[in-house]
Structure 1
Amino acid sequence: MHPLEPSAEEIAAMMAVATDYVTGFVDSLAGPQVPAESPARELLLAPPPAQPGDFGELVGLYRRAAATATDTAGPGCFAYFPGGGVVSSAVAEVLSRTANRYSGSGSMATDLVAMEHGVLRWLCERFGLPARTSGGVLTTGTSTGLLAAIVTAREELLGEDFTSGTLYLTAQTHHSVAKAARIAGLPARAVRVVPTTARRRMDPAALAAMVAADRAAGLRPFLVVGTAGTTNTGAVDPLDELADLAAAEDLWFHVDAAYGGGFWLTERGRARMRGMERADSITFDAHKSLFLPYTTGVLLVADVRPLLRAHTADADYLQDLDLEASLPNFADMGAELSREYRGLRLWLPLHLHGTDAFVSALDEKLDLSSALHGELVALGLWAPEPDLTVHVFRAPGGEEVNRALLAEVNASGRTTITSTQIDGEFTLRLCVINHRTHREHVDEAVATIRRALGAVGRAAA
């Protein structure tokens, strides 16, 4: 008997328990999310036993623990960038993890890598990148993709002596850029913070002046990072103007589209993010605007050769691999060497549902966002028009009132929002991005905010 090799019957029994959980969980998302009681902490911290446990009981413990986590899958979650996670992608993960194939090299899993490469080629084409030279790799998220992009730009434009290099972002740029720059070995002084316009977008004139001043001081500008949908307000930088400046100044142009990237598939998204197709590299999180499970990131490059030059490594024990194969070696496109087969989580949903289903869902989110903005303004809130689907808003009365409003909304169990700081003021934030969120859920969110305003007003009277 081999306990790590369950029989077909035992596998079927485990899958039946898992299926019951999945179907019950998805069905529960339509109802109010009632706060759950945490399991006893000693159960969660307990070391694994020497003898076998009961699968049903263990899944039951997981079910209870998951129920206490912030709900990011339900239609009423508007906090941060909620990842709904299409179920077909979760099924793809079961299949992929069961086969457990290594996909770092094209020669180790030729057909699987071809499937993944096909999705990446489609993305390059849709993003308008050069057909002959472009390429990409699926990552665990934008953070790892950013690191690969920054290392590539550093190697390509600065070489081994890069301490005098400078890169440019804004105070609205996600902190992962500065973190990746630090990991890439660049000193803190290399990161230049460019002023923004009144709409919190990078100011191209200010960027040009800073680049000129840095060159005059003997420094070496090499990278500008534009954002297609900031985390704070969803603002889209003037990407076309930044692309012009990057070309004129011989800078690597990276677009952080972690949030906004998926919207590029829509006509309105392309219009609002014009210029992204001119980027040297693009990162976006398919677990945001393509509705897939967390840790599904994408790095696309206009020319794959610099990416390969910066990351390719070899060793004697790799001599049996066909490293010159026509299929990509994803291990040569980033830091990951031990790489699971990541492609099925994109390939299966896209082929199963068709790309039009994703475009339609994204268009729906833009429609909902437009309607929501009008409703927030009608409530008498300060609510600037969003570039995409992130809304920031405030009620009159200052921080105390808005903190109370946040608590009242989230106590509803139906709508979840978060807060941020805008120009030093406490501000509420709401994002429409979940594929399960439809008009009735936006209407419910507005009704919840309206009731919360009334409750807060009565409490203050």
Structure 2
Amino acid sequence: MAEIHVRALALEPDQTSIEVMGRAVLERIADFIDGLSQAPAGRNDDTEQIVARMLRPPPEEAGDLTALLDTFQDAAERSLDTAGPGYLAYFPAGGLVGSALAELLAQTYNRFTAVAELAPALVAMEHGILRWLCGQFGLPSSAAGLVTTGGSMATLAGLVAARHDRLGEDIAGGTLYVTEHTHHCVAKAARIAGLPASSVRTVPARGLRMDPDAAARLIAVDRANGLRPFLLVGTAGTTSTGTIDPLAELGELARRENIWFHVDAAYGGGFRLTARGRDRLRGIERADSVVFDPHKSLFLPYGTGVLLVRDTGPLRAAHSGRGDYLQDLTGVAGLPDYGHLGPELTREFRGLRLWLPLHLHGAAAFRDALDEKLDLAALAYRELTADPLLEVPWEPDLTVVVFRLRADDDANRRLLDRINRTGRFFLSSTRVDERFYLRLNATSHRTHESHLRDALDHIRRCAGDEATTRPRT
């Protein structure tokens, strides 16, 4: 590619320059996507040297775009490729191209959407998608929400709303209820919201799921001791194992106890689009708030989270503010002011990254892809269970499959290293009941049966090699 020079200090390039730069970037994108099917899941060679290069300060004079794009590409290639079919760890974020293009448009137009009056049609686009999502979760017509940077920020906003609604200004003695499998962002949000670590109560789990009876007993004991239970957290797909809590029973318990019911569906929420997902996530419609990460199970880019609430009143009451500099804004009937529903006032127009791919591809395309991922998880479970060297203790609720060698933890650590060493596939690990497990999650929209079968063959070969070579005890 020929060098692309940008005139010094040309902060306002002309149309021709923009077109040249845009083509250069889009060519890189197209080449990257085209090569994903054969790309390694990651590489980290020459880390110290490339990090040192990336730490250099910007020059005084203008640079060359081609060289700068080369530098970015070099840096990006020395990281985990979460967009490719071989990434089977954590929660793959495939990064739909349509969503990336939407982000380019949104950032270029750079409209302010925290206040509806300044961009009513754009806010309506975002609001329409959120209302549609509320319907997918079975929430009432009064439900709405906001798009955040991810599940952690959405959890914080939901927890603050629950705290304000159920405890008021005096938060002393407030308690919330989780399990050992609840995502740590809940405890982090509680700490940020001013609650002590002792306020986070750990309910015993039964088969990896919150035990509703144990939760009821703990709530009763806390009330008897003068504490103030205000929040019960259920999980629709835990991070370690993808397990779904008994949401219907927990929702009924929260109703009886008059406490806020929050469901962390950051991972599992997208599966509500499927028939199997709706059945497995039954009870989520009882939630007062739901966190969902479209960058997990709707294949969107990282930094895309959603908070949905049954009633926006508590959300607004906990987050709204006033200032003399806002006196010219009167609001738009029927549209939310997102700056008064969450911690952020300055926020980019995030709705387009959801609106464009959903309208471009249609909801059925996402539903079909998610059904395929459930099928892949069932396939992985069957294949790994059939291997006598492996222990696969839990049938997946969604798409996370955990397994281990019938050996000690050290052997399983070595197995994970063998699997990941080639860079073709990448798995992660977790600990359950103090035991080390390997963790496989084929949720990327680019991972299909052929990719998974290749990965399973690789896992079995590595398991056989480890079983043959591990030290005798």
TM-score range, shorter chain: over 0.9
Distance 1:86 1:382 in 2: 35
CA separation in 2, counterparts of 1:41 and 1:149? 37
**2:241 partner SS:** coil
**Residue 194 of structure 2: aligned partner:** 185
Q: What secondary structure is seen at the aligned counterpart in 1 of 2:12?
A: coil
The answer for unaligned runs of 5 or more in structure 2 is: 1-6
**Following TM superposition, by how much is the alpha carbon of 1:456 offset from its aligned partner in structure 2, in angstroms?**
1.2
Separation in structure 2 between the aligned mates of residue 332 and residue 227 of structure 1, nearest angstrom = 27
CA–CA separation in structure 2 for the residues paired with 1:390 and 1:235:
8
Q: Compute the displacement of 1:414 (Å).
A: 2.0
Deviation, structure 1 residue 45: 0.8
**Selected match of 2:96 from 86, 99, 104:** 86
Corresponding residue for 2:177? 168
Q: What's the CA shift for 1:7? A: 1.1
Corresponding position of 2:208: 200
Q: 1:372 to 1:165 in 2, by over 3 A?
A: same
Percent of aligned pairs sharing the same letter: 54
Mapped partners of 2:204, 2:237: distance in 1 = 17
Deviation at residue 314 of structure 1 after TM alignment: 1.2
1:59 alignment partner in structure 2: 69
Alpha-carbon deviations, 1:100-149, whole Å to 9, x = none? 11110100111111111110111111111111x21110000111111111
Q: Among residues 328, 331, 340, which one is paired with 2:339 in the alignment? A: 331
Identify the residue that residue 26 of structure 2 maps to in structure 1: 19
Q: How far apart, in 2, do the equivalents of 1:301 and 1:376 lie?
A: 39
1:106-255 → structure 2 map (5 Å cutoff) = 106-131=116-141, 133-197=142-206, 199-255=207-263
Q: Equivalents in 1 of 2:353, 2:17: separation in Å?
A: 26
Query: Does structure 2 conserve the Cα–Cα contact (< 8 Å) formed by 1:107 and 1:325?
Result: no
Partner of 1:313: 321
Query: How many aligned positions are there?
Result: 459
SS, match of residue 76 in structure 1: coil
Distance 2:175 2:50 in 1: 51
Residue 368 of structure 1, aligned match among 376, 393, 405: 376
Match of 2:4 in 1: none
4+ runs deviating over 4 angstroms: 36-39
State the TM-score, normalized to the length of structure 2. Answer: 0.95
Which of the numbers 332, 351, 357 marks the counterpart of 1:349?
Answer: 357
Report if the CA contact (8 A) 1:229-1:236 is conserved.
yes
What is the alpha-carbon distance in structure 1 between the residues aligned to residue 166 and residue 79 of structure 2?
44
Partner of 2:111: 101
Alignment of structure 1 residues 362-401 onto 2, 5 Å: 362-380=370-388, 381-383=390-392, 384-401=394-411
Instruction: Indicate whether 1:443 and 2:450 are aligned.
Output: no
Matched residue of 1:394: which SS? strand
Distance 1:21 1:100, change over 3 A: same
Whether the 8 Å contact between 2:237 and 2:398 is mirrored in structure 1 is: yes
Corresponding position: 1:28 with 2:63? no
CA–CA separation in structure 2 for the residues paired with 1:216 and 1:161: 19
Q: Which amino acid aligns with 1:3?
A: A
CA distance in 1, matches of 2:351, 2:240: 30
Out of 450, 454, 461, the residue aligned to residue 464 of structure 2 is: 454
Partner of 1:427, secondary structure, is strand
Contact 1:139–1:298 (CA<8 Å) still a contact in 2?
yes
Q: Counterpart in 2 of 1:7?
A: 14
CA distance in 1, matches of 2:210, 2:50: 49
Q: Alpha-carbon deviation of 1:404?
A: 1.4
CA-CA distance at 1:36 after TM superposition? 5.9
TM-fit CA distance, 1:379: 1.2
| 1:409-455, Cα deviation, whole Å (9 max, x unpaired) | 11232211011111111111111210001100110111001110122
Inter-partner Cα distance in structure 2 for 1:267 and 1:226 = 21
- What does the per-residue CA deviation read over 1:368-415, in whole Å, with 9 as the maximum and x for residues that have no partner? 111110001011221121111111101111112111111111123221
Mapping for residues 66-77 of structure 1, pairs under 5 Å: 66-77=76-87
State yes or no: 1:427 paired with 2:437.
yes
Q: Structure 1 counterpart of 2:20, which letter? A: A
Q: TM-score, normalised by structure 1?
A: 0.98
The 5 Å alignment of 1:252-263 reads 252-263=260-271
Rounded to whole Å, the distance in 2 between the matches of 1:125 and 1:453 is 44
Aligned residue in 1 for 2:348: 340
Q: For 1:324-351, what per-residue CA distance to the aligned partner results, in whole angstroms no more than 9, with x for missing partners?
A: 5321100011000111000100000000
